[in-house]
Amino acid sequence: MGLSNALLFARHFPTVLLEVDSRKVDLINAGESPIRDEEMIQHLSSDDISLSATVDLIDALRAADWVIVATPTDYNAATNSFDVSSVESVVQSVFELKPSAQVVIRSTLPVGFTQILSQRYPTLSLLVAPEFLREGSALQDCLYPTRIVVGGGAEAAAEFAALLKGASLNPGVDVFLTGLAEAEAIKLFSNTYLAMRVAFFNELDSYVVSRGLDTRQIINGVCSDPRIGTHYNNPSFGYGGYCLPKDTRQLLANYEQIPQNLMRAVVDANETRKQFVAEEILKTNPECVGIHRLGMKVGSDNYRGSSILGILMLIRASGTPVVIYEPTLLENQFMECEVIRDLDEFKSRADLIVANRMADELSDVSHRVYTRDLFRNN
C-alpha cells in the first residue's frame, strides 16, 4: 500500500518512502519491487520517477510537504478492533519532529479514530484519504482510482484531493470531500458491501450444491437483472484477502449498542461457507488432499487472510493428510503441512486437489480438482 502511494506521487514529485525493512529499502533503491506486481516492477525500473527509500524517519520528513501514513491495521480479536498502534506511532513521531505537518492517513481505521488523534495532536493537520485497492493491482488502482475520498479540513482536503487527481490517470474521477469519520466509514461500508455480495453468491452456491442444481444457470439468470449485474458473482471458498475479513469485523464492532442484523450475518456467513466447503471435500473420503496455491487470487503471492487457509485448517483437523503446492514458499512446512514446490510431484501425491481459483496447469487433472470457481475470474 505504501509503495503504490509512493510510486503514484513519484511520477510527479520527489518522493521519499519510509520502510522499516532494510531489505525492501535496498530493493526499492535498486529499482526492484519487493512484491509481486507487474506494474510496480515496470515503474520501479523506469527513469521517469523520483523515488528513494529509507529507514530513517528524520530523513523521510526533512523536505516533506505532505506525510502519508499507509501502515497496516490488522484486526485484533482480543480487543475487538483494529490494531492502530502503527498508525498512532507514526503520527506521534511526526508530531514530535514536525508538529505543524500535513498528515494524510490512508490506512483503514475504526470510525472516529482520527478525530481522537486530532485532539491528541492538535497542531497537526490530519486528513483521512481511504484507498480502494484490489489485491495484486494496487498501483493500477492508485493510477486509475474509482473515486477519491478525502476527509478533514475543507481547504487541506481539497488541496490533497487535487494532488491525488492530478497524479492519477483518470482525470474524470469523482472527488468526495467529507468529514474525518465519514471518510473512515466510507471505506468500511464499501468493503462490507463487497463482502456481503461475495457471501450472498457463496450461500446461493451452497444451496444449489446441496440440492443438486446448476449454479451457473441460476447465477446467470439472477445476474441478468441490470440492478444486480454480473460483477462479484463468482463463487469461492469465502471472501478473504487482507482487507475484507478485518474490515467487516471492525464495522461490526463499530455497531456496538446500535441495532443491526446484516453486519453480523456477513461476518458469520463467511465462516459458515468455509465449514460447508470443507465438509463437501471430506465427503469424498480423500486419502490425501492437495491445496493448490495459498493466495486469494490468481497471480497473487499474498496469503494474508486467504479463505483457503480456513479450509486447510478444517481439513487438517479431520485427520486427513494435507500437502500444499506453493512455489513461492521457501519453508518445507506451512501450518504443519508439507510444502511441495514441484507441480508434478504435487499432482501425484494428492488424490483430491483443492483450488479456490482454477488454473490452466491443473487442466490435465481437472477430474480430481475441487473448486467452486465457475466463471474462471478473480
Residues 24-40 have pLDDT tens digits of: 999 999 998 888 777 88
Together in a domain, 334 and 193 = yes
Confidence at 300, pLDDT banded by 50, 70, 90: low
Together in a domain, 252 and 172 = no
- What is the spatial distance between Cα 261 and Cα 376, in angstroms, rounded to a whole number? 32
Number of domains in the chain: 2
Give Cα separations from 102 to 122, 159, 167, 169 (angstroms): 12, 11, 18, 24
The lowest-confidence range among 25-39, 195-209, 247-261 is 25-39
Cα dihedral 194, 184, 132, 191, rounded to 10, equals: -10
Instruction: Please say which residue of 134, 154, 178 terminates a domain.
Output: 178
Together in a domain, 279 and 217 = yes
Residues 132-157 have pLDDT tens digits of: 988 778 889 999 999 999 999 999 99
Q: Which of 142, 223, 243, 288 is catalytic?
A: 243
Decide if 243 is catalytic.
yes
pLDDT in the model for residue 185: 97
Per DSSP (E only), the strands in 332-372 are 333-334, 337-340, 352-354, 369-370
Decide which of 184 and 297 is more confident. Answer: 184
pLDDT in the model for residue 110: 96
Together in a domain, 79 and 219 = no
Mean pLDDT of the chain: 94
Is 183 within a domain? no
Together in a domain, 174 and 194 = no
Helix (H) or strand (E) holding 323: strand 322-325
Nearest residue to 106 (alpha-carbon basis) of 126, 78, 128, 135: 128
- How many percent of the chain have pLDDT more than 70? 99
Judge contact between 23 and 32, C-beta under 8 A: no
The lowest-confidence range among 10-14, 135-139, 299-303 is 299-303
- What is the spatial distance between Cα 310 and Cα 271, in angstroms, rounded to a whole number? 8
Judge contact between 307 and 353, C-beta under 8 A: no
pLDDT in the model for residue 226: 97
Judge contact between 288 and 346, C-beta under 8 A: no
At position 178, the amino acid (one-letter code) is T
* CATH number of the structural domain spanning residue 263: 3.40.50.720
pLDDT in the model for residue 301: 66
Is 296 within a domain? yes
Is 195 within a domain? yes
The arithmetic mean of pLDDT across residues 61-72, rounded, is: 93
Is 73 within a domain? yes
Residue 353 CB neighbours (<10 A) = 24
337-340 β-sheet, strand order:
333-334, 337-340, 322-325, 289-292, 352-354, 369-370
Together in a domain, 30 and 125 = yes
Is 91 within a domain? yes
- What is the spatial distance between Cα 347 and Cα 340, in angstroms, rounded to a whole number? 10
Together in a domain, 72 and 212 = no
Together in a domain, 16 and 158 = yes
Nearest residue to 108 (alpha-carbon basis) of 194, 34, 190: 190
Instruction: Please say which residue of 178, 208, 223 terminates a domain.
Output: 178
Decide which of 363 and 376 is more confident. Answer: 363
Which structural domain, as residue segments, surrounds residue 312?
188-370
Together in a domain, 13 and 143 = yes
Is 375 within a domain? no
pLDDT in the model for residue 290: 98
Instruction: Please say which residue of 110, 145, 178 terminates a domain.
Output: 178
Please enumerate in sequence order all residues whose Cβ is within 8 A of that of 339, keeping only pairs 6 or more positions apart, or say none.
323, 324, 325, 326, 329, 331, 332, 333
Together in a domain, 202 and 284 = yes
Together in a domain, 157 and 212 = no
Confidence at 217, pLDDT banded by 50, 70, 90: very high
> Is the pLDDT confidence value at 299 over 70?
no
The arithmetic mean of pLDDT across residues 115-129, rounded, is: 97
Together in a domain, 193 and 173 = no
DSSP 182-233: HHHHHHHHHHHHHHHHHHHHHHHHHHHHHHT--HHHHHHHHHTSTTT-STT-
The arithmetic mean of pLDDT across residues 218-230, rounded, is: 97
